Amino acid sequence: MAFFTFHKNDKQSLSSYHLRQTLLLYISYLVIRFGATLFLAPFWPAHGMVSLFEFMVLVNITFIILWIIGLSGAMNGEKKPIPFFGKQAQIVFGRI
């Protein structure tokens, strides 16, 4: 939504930088969140050390924290990469 609303007509390097990071963050979240639910759930032990529900809560909290780090960098006008995803996003989505 941000790409089509703000970035399409007013391309700036800062907005491109943060859009790339956010895009990779969201794609990674969807793959991990729904991939774990669909493919790991049948094999996840019901009474293991960490339940699948607890794992999903940890995944959600981790991605919320990463999103907040990226949001604070964007609001401050900094090109600060999101941990684990920032540098990879610039490589993968370099043409956006």
Looking at residue 96, its pLDDT comes to: 67
Whether residue 10 is predicted with pLDDT greater than 80 in this model: the reply is no
Q: How far apart are CA 48 and CA 46, in angstroms?
A: 6
Domain map of the chain by residue range? 12-92
Q: How far apart are CA 80 and CA 74, in angstroms?
A: 8
Q: How does pLDDT run across 47-84, given as a tens digit for each residue?
A: 666 777 788 889 899 999 999 988 888 888 888 888 88
